[in-house]
Structure 1
Amino acid sequence: MRIINHFVMGTLSASCLLLSGQSFAQPSHQTMPMAEAQTSAQNAIPVDHSQHHVVSTTDQTPVKAKPVIAVQDENVNSNDAASAEHIQEHGGQIYQQTTLESRWLRNNDGEGILKSELETRIGTDENKIFIKVHADDAESEQAEYDAKVLYSRNVADFWDVQAGLRYRNDQNREVDQDQVDAVIGVHGLAPYFFETNAYLYVGQDNQTSLSLETERDVLLTQKLIVKPYLDLNVVLSDDSSYAQKTGLSTAQLGLETRYEINKKVMPFIDVAYGYKQGREQTAWQAESASDQEWLYGAGIRFKF
């Protein structure tokens, strides 16, 4: 009976405690709000702020920014310098080459003529100046000279357009010894590696003519080279005191064989067939017929 009383009393005590909201395991535990719990947790973790740089909002030294214009100028100057260096390394450099040639030719009648040529070119791959001087000194006659100054502009692969002036001097004439012509033409490398010069000349007294020069090197060895060549002159109109007949004026088809001692000294021999049309009758000259002849001779060429 005593045991039953103790069991009943314990059951009633547990029921009272449950109704009052208390726990058996943690009788001293109290509920804490969420925000207060987070604050307590953060304060409990030690944090080392010694490596953090604290910037004061009340005492800051202003940092002077680099002007944008100055940066742009530096970039432009750098780009210009790089572009100039690129041009210098890839065809923008100025170069010069001079060729001096002299050849002695004789015809079937044993009459000889000394032909001399000087050509100088200076400039870049795109822009050049050509100076060409030619002289013919035939036996028993005065020498004839002509000189051309041409500006050359590259317009396509292997081709330049040229324009300038030509000066002519012929001491065998009594009048009009000095004449000046305008020149325009092309200079370049035609198909099959034919180096070509083609010019149109326009001068006083309605003088208009065309000239064509083309040639190609064929290597037999590294030093022995043959060069077929063709020179033509065509008169379109001529009302001068020493007028030439219109049409094909002169033609020379030849074969030059040279031996290159080095790239600066090159002796050669030459065999050619020549044609020359006659002149019209004027107050200063008699009419002449056309002439054909074989020419042969030798010469030497210098390049520097």
Structure 2
Amino acid sequence: DQIWQGIWEQDRFPEEITTISKALREKLTAELPLALEVANDVSTDEGTTRKWVYRLHDGYTIETVLMNYEDRVTVCISTQAGCAMGCTFCATGQAGFSRQLTLGEVVEQVVRAGRAAAPRRISNIVFMGMGEPLANYDVTVGTIRALHHERGLSARNLTVSTVGIAPAIERLALEGLPLTLAISLHVANDAERDELIPINKRYNLERLYQACEVWRNETGRRISFEWALISGVNDTDQALYELAEYARPLGAHVNLIPLNPTPGFLVIGSPAARVRYFRDELEELGVNATVRRTRGRTIDAACGQLANVTNGKRRSIPVR
């Protein structure tokens, strides 16, 4: 109980838990060494957004982002070093895949963020950092169960983002966890989605739709579709109508995100007026939609920008 309270309630490392004996502290520290080393630590948005680049034991790096809002504290965590999905507009996908993270490496991101957030407490955790969470399925679900049962966070405050690995969505629906599922949709026709999100060639929109139906029927939870608005690509009236036709029967919520710039994708995000128009028209077509507030763009901490950047250099190989 004392170890549990120290780690999960007080965000302490084993050597800092003074309610246990020195011998036990030393034993825990030796047998359970910390997995992450801070390689970079930057803040923006008047200090309310903070990003860490962590070096792993083998030299690979990952990133974690802490966002302070008036009504909540959210941490965005990584599940892989790099990503194999290859989405063309995402810096992580452009950097390539290095390896899966372990359960300890994922959980430690939350503990470290909790220490930094003090005296406030982390209220929301989003699996939207580096990597595809459902491609590291066992670690993702293990982390959720640890956070839900050990830390006491409601699964309703945990969000898992995926590009649409349909079988894994169906498997997750049977786990009995009332979490939020966010699907990076971005395009609602197969020809264009094949280009932007290569996994669509394996699990096309029809197959993804079937998985969404399983999720809705098994969990009773509403799905969120993420839609990064790209000027002249997926912000057209045609794209709007395709999205509405896809999302409305599922009762899905749409999160609109103005595209964040990345070096390898030479297009721009939609202007603010177009974003508002897109949202308003979706509402008129019977689809609930909101515009997500962008945080961390100036330090490459916003959605789609995480790509192992230290000292201004973008890396896809181990940093030693």
TM-score when normalising by structure 2: 0.28
Q: Which has the higher strand share?
A: 1
Q: Greater relative contact order (Cα 8 A, min sep 6): structure 1 or 2?
A: 2
TM-score when normalising by structure 1: 0.29
Q: Which has the higher helix share?
A: 2
